Amino acid sequence: MLASSAAWGRAEPIERPDMAHEFFSDDWIAAVESMRDEAPEPNDVVKDVVINLVVTDTPFGERHAHLAGGLLEQGLDDGAPTTMTMPYDAARLLFIDQDQQATTQAFLTGRIKVTGDMMVLMKLQTAPPPTAEQAAFQERIKALTI
C-alpha cells in the first residue's frame, strides 16, 4: 500500500483528488497524501519496516522517498537500514502494477539496486497477502494513477 506524507513542492491541495495523475508527479503525491488517513493498518511484518527509495529517470527529476509501515513518504529517512534505487518504470512495476515477475527480473538484471541491509527485503517476503481492505486501498491508488 502506498500513501504520502506531503506533496512534493506543493503548498496547496489539488482540486480533484479523484482525477488520475502521472505516477510520482506532484499531483499524484498530493492525491495519494489526501488518502493517507484512510489507509488500513499494515500487517505485523510491514509495520516496522523502513526502506529508502531513490527513483531515477522520472519525468519530474530524481525522486527521493521512503516506505515506512507500508506508506510512501516524501524524502529519505536517515534511520532506514536499506535503500532501493530504481528507474521510474521499475518503480511503477513494483508499486502500481505489482508485477512480481517483472520486478524480480529488474532486480536480477541490476535495474533495481539494493544497498544496506538486504534482510529487510527478505523479511518482506514473509508478509501475508494483503487483506481485502488493504487490496481495496491499493486499487484506489491504482485508479488515480496514469
pTM (predicted TM-score): 0.84
Give the domain CATH number at 16.
Answer: 3.30.1050
Q: How many residues does the chain have?
A: 146
Range of the domain at 29: 1-118
Any domain includes 123: no
CA distances from 16 to 28, 110, 146 (A): 11, 38, 15
Query: Which residues of the chain have a pLDDT value below 70?
Result: 1-18
Note the pLDDT of residue 18: 61
Measure the CA–CA gap between 21 and 24, rounded to whole angstroms.
8
DSSP 51: E
Q: What's the number of domains the chain is made of?
A: 1
- Taking only the tens place, the pLDDT of each residue in 8-42 is 444 344 444 468 999 998 888 888 888 889 999 99
Any domain includes 132: no
